[in-house]
Amino acid sequence: MGYIINRNKKLFYYLGIVIIFLVISIYQSGLYPDRVIEVSAQSNTNEICDDPNSEEDFPWMIGPWVKYPHNPILTAGDYEWESKNVLNPTALVKDGKVYLFYRAQNNKRISCIGLAISEDGYNFEKQSEPILVPTENYEFAGTEDPRIVEIDGIYYMTYTGWIYHTNYLCLAVSKDFIHWEKKGKILPDWPMASKSGAIVPKKINDQYFMYFGDSDIFIATSKNLIDWEPEIKPVLYRRFRKKDNGERYFDSLLVELGPTPIVTEQGILLIYNGANFSKEYATGEVLFSLQDPRVVLKRTDMPVLEVDNILEEKGEVNNVVFSEGLVQFNGKWFLYFGMGDSRIGVAVADLKFVQ
C-alpha cells in the first residue's frame, strides 16, 4: 500500500510539472500578445546594441563562420543502412584525424549511427558498418542525433532513442569509440519526451553538468556521468517576444542543443540551434557562467549560421541548418551541421581561443 501511495504521489508531481509547462507554453505563444513574460531576467538578459552579435565587453564567440564551398562533405547512399539520409553529426579529434559520428537513415527511415574518418576535416571515408544500432525497446525505431565527449579516457555519447510516438535521451559509453555499452535512458522519470543532451567536458563545483532539451533548454547534474538529476526550470528559453523593431528572433519557436559545450576563460560556450515560426532552422551561440552554469552571460541576437542555398532549403526537412559537431583542428574550429536533414556540411572559423 505504501508503495502505491508513493508511486501516486510521484505521478501527481510529474503531472503537475507537465501542466505547468503547458500553461507557460500557451501563455507565451501569443494568446496574450499585449503581455510580455520576463523569464529569468538575470540569467537570460541579452545585450542589444548596434551589432546584434556584439563582443564589446569581452570576446566570447566563435566566428565568423565560413561555409566550406564544396559542401556537402557527406551524402547518403553508399550502404543500405544509410541509403536515405545522413545528418546531424557529432565529432572529435583523435591521433590527428577527425572522427565524425553521424545519424544515418535507411529507406524505412530507421536511424543508426555511422562513423566517417578524415585527415583534413573535409574529405571523409565512411566505415562500412554502423557503430550504434537500435537494439532496445526504448529505441526500436532509431538511434539518432549523437553528441560525444571524452572525459578521463572514456567516451560518453548521448543520443536519442526513438519509438515513433516519443523519444528518450539515452547514453552509451566506450573506451575506443568503436565498441559501445548502452546505459539506457538518462532521464527515465522526466515527464516529457527528452532528447539532445550535451555534457560539459569538465567538472564545475564538484559535479558534471549536461544541457538538454528541444523546446527550451534545461540542465541536469551528475557525480558520475551515468546517473543524472534534471532540473525543471529551463536555463535557456525560446524567445517569443518580438524585437524592438517588431521582428521575430531566429529562435522564437524553439531552441535545441548543438555540439558538446566548450569551456573557456570567459565561460561555458554552447552553440545551439533555433527555429522560428516559419520553421526555419539556424544556429546561435550562448555563453553560460563558470560559477553557475545555469546563468546566461551572453547570447547572440542574430544567427551565426543559417540557410542560404538549395541543399539546405530542400531535403527531408526543408530550410534546415542544424549544427551538432564542433572540433578544434589544424588551427581552426570546424563546425559540422545537417543540411535539410539529408546531408552534412561544415563551416570553419579562426581559432580565437583554445579549448
- Report CA-CA distances (Å) from 166 to 83, 187, 195: 24, 14, 10
Q: Which residue's entry shows cell 500500500?
A: 1
Name the DSSP class of 82.
Answer: G
Cβ neighbours around 61 below 10 Å, total: 22
**Can you tell me whether residue 30 is helix, strand or coil?**
helix
End-to-end CA distance of the chain: 53
What are the phi and psi torsion angles at 26 (to 5°)? -65, -40
- What is the pLDDT, as a whole number, of residue 344? 98
CB-based contact 197:170 (threshold 8 Å):
no
User: For residue 286, which of 160, 206, 198 has the smallest C-alpha distance?
Assistant: 198
- What is the pLDDT, as a whole number, of residue 173? 98
d(CA 107, CA 142): 13
- What is the pLDDT, as a whole number, of residue 31? 33
Cell of 80: 543500405
pLDDT digits (tens, 9 = 90+) for 5-56: 444 444 444 455 445 454 444 434 433 232 222 233 233 333 333 444 655 6
Supply the pTM of this predicted model: 0.86
Q: What angle do CA 348, 353, 355 make, to 5 degrees?
A: 90
Tens place of pLDDT per residue across the chain (355 aa): 444 444 444 444 445 544 545 444 443 443 323 222 223 323 333 333 344 465 566 789 999 999 999 999 999 999 999 999 999 999 999 999 999 999 999 999 999 999 999 999 999 999 999 999 999 999 999 999 999 999 999 999 999 999 999 999 999 999 998 899 999 999 999 988 899 999 999 999 999 999 999 999 999 999 999 999 999 999 999 998 888 888 899 999 999 999 999 999 999 999 999 999 999 999 999 999 999 999 999 999 999 999 999 999 999 999 999 999 999 999 999 999 999 999 999 999 998 765 5
User: For residue 279, which of 246, 314, 239, 252 has the smallest C-alpha distance?
Assistant: 252
